[in-house]
Copies of this chain bind each other. A is one copy, B any other.
Amino acid sequence: MVAAMPYSCGLDAASDVIGGKWKPRILWALHHGPRRFGELRKEIPGVTEKMLIQQLRELESRDIVHREVYHQVPPKVEYSLTTLGESLNEALAPLDAWGADHLAALELTRSA
């Protein structure tokens, strides 16, 4: 095994943070404000509980999302973007716009 290399560029670091199938969707869902675990599950079609938690934990450990526990019954946990998370989302916006602009072309060249 190789020792961890420092990130070679900003893009490298960023894709490490948003890597994985579900992280971009989570960021997207949180864009409009705090969400409970169950709400996220409903808003992100296809995600399983395991994956959702796993990705949320990773984002939390990177200080992208904040996890707030309300000690109630039934339990309530709210996830929201941190300042860092908000700035990441802003940096992601042009990429989303690019994807939206070229959606048709990209659909045509899927799964070669």
Contact = CB atoms under 8 A, between A and B. Distances in A.
Interface of A: 4-18, 24-25, 28, 45-46, 57-58, 61-63, 84, 87-88, 90-103, 105-107, 109-112
Given A4-B111, A7-B106, A94-B91, A25 B12 contact: yes
Interface SS of chain A: helix, strand, loop or mixed?
helix
A4 B87 contact: no
B103 A95 contact: no
25 contacts: A9-B25, A9-B28, A10-B95, A10-B99, A11-B24, A12-B99, A13-B99, A13-B100, A13-B103, A13-B106, A13-B107, A14-B95, A14-B96, A14-B99, A15-B18, A58-B112, A61-B112, A62-B109, A62-B112, A84-B105, A87-B98, A91-B94, A91-B95, A92-B95, A94-B95
Contact of A106 (B16, B101, B110): B16
A7 B99 contact: yes
